[in-house]
A and B are shown apart, each in its own frame.
Chain A
Amino acid sequence: MPTAPAGTLYRGREGMWSWVAHRVTGVLIFFFLLVHVLDTALVRVSPEAYNAVIGTYQTPIMGLGEAGLVAAIVFHAFNGIRVILVDFWAKGPKYQRTMLWVVVGLFFVTMAGFLPRHLMNVFGGGH
């Protein structure tokens, strides 16, 4: 395999950082999914085992973790759509930067809809 020179001065602009963020969120979601399918598999062990493990997801700390996970998914999903548009839509490459700001805008709108409700479920009363 060809080796990239170490420490180049190349710094892309928004396009490079959105690519880095897409990568990091993709890997994060992947590792979550591995654990998530295995903990869901506890429904085949016993109701008690499943409830015990799911109970640990309902603590405030995990609640913040879930918020982070949802943020990662929302960014990866919207930016993924942007990547698809850049590839398939004739004007995609021209508007790629504009679309990144649309992604960022939609991200904040979606999180603004999600966070209050989720944090209320996590911190406000409940069980």
Chain B
Amino acid sequence: MAYGTAAVAKVDSPRSPYVRRKTTRGNYELYSWIFMRASGVVLVVLIFGHLFVNLMVGEGVHAIDFAFVAGKWANPLWGVWDLLMLWLAMIHGTNGVRTIINDYAQRDLTRGVLKSLLYTAFVVVVVVGTLVIFTFDPCPPNAPEELLASFCTA
């Protein structure tokens, strides 16, 4: 055995102040609490705008079809609008449901399974939704003309 300085345990000076043991969790919960509030404020505008344009203007739900979506996404503003809404609402909702799972699922296994399902759903929906916005083709070839927006044939 080596009796060197290495073997001498470090002993705090009797007068050193008490230091709380550091947790390993970082500030995740704090940031998530702030995010819920910040995203909430932005989501009010995004979602109310979305609902107003899609349900209140013109014939409301009855006006929605492929050509309606093509008309909206022809304007980049609505592309950005929907993309932001998709990401913010999904992060906000997923984080909210995570809190709820933590509150009610008491067994580690149950909690692990539920959260894996939750995060899988998050990734699938965000990836699919993002790809849809970026790869959308308003005038697909071979589609019946009467289903397309007027600018496809004009």
- Please give the residue numbers on chain B whose beta carbons come within 8 Å of chain A beta carbons, in ascending order: 37, 40-41, 43-44, 47-48, 51, 55-56, 59-62, 64-67, 69, 86, 89-90, 93-94, 96-97, 100, 106, 121, 125, 128-129, 131-132, 135-137, 140, 143-144, 147-148
Contacts and interface: CB of A to CB of B under 8 A. Distances in A.
Given A26-B97, A46-B143, A77-B48, 19 more contacts: A1-B106, A26-B100, A37-B86, A37-B128, A40-B69, A41-B128, A43-B66, A43-B132, A47-B140, A48-B143, A50-B66, A51-B65, A57-B64, A58-B62, A77-B40, A81-B41, A121-B59, A121-B61, A122-B61
Given A37-B125, A44-B132, A121-B61, A81 B44 contact: yes
B41 to A, nearest CB: 7
Given A23-B100, A43-B69, A51 B147 contact: yes
A33 interface: yes
B125 A38 contact: yes
B106 A38 contact: no
Nearest to B66: A47
Contacts, number: 111
A97 interface: no
A87 interface: yes
A51 B37 contact: no
B144 A63 contact: no
A100 interface: no
Q: Give the secondary structure class of B's interface.
A: helix
Contacts of B100: 23, 26-27
Interface string A1-42: 101000000000000000000010011011001100110110
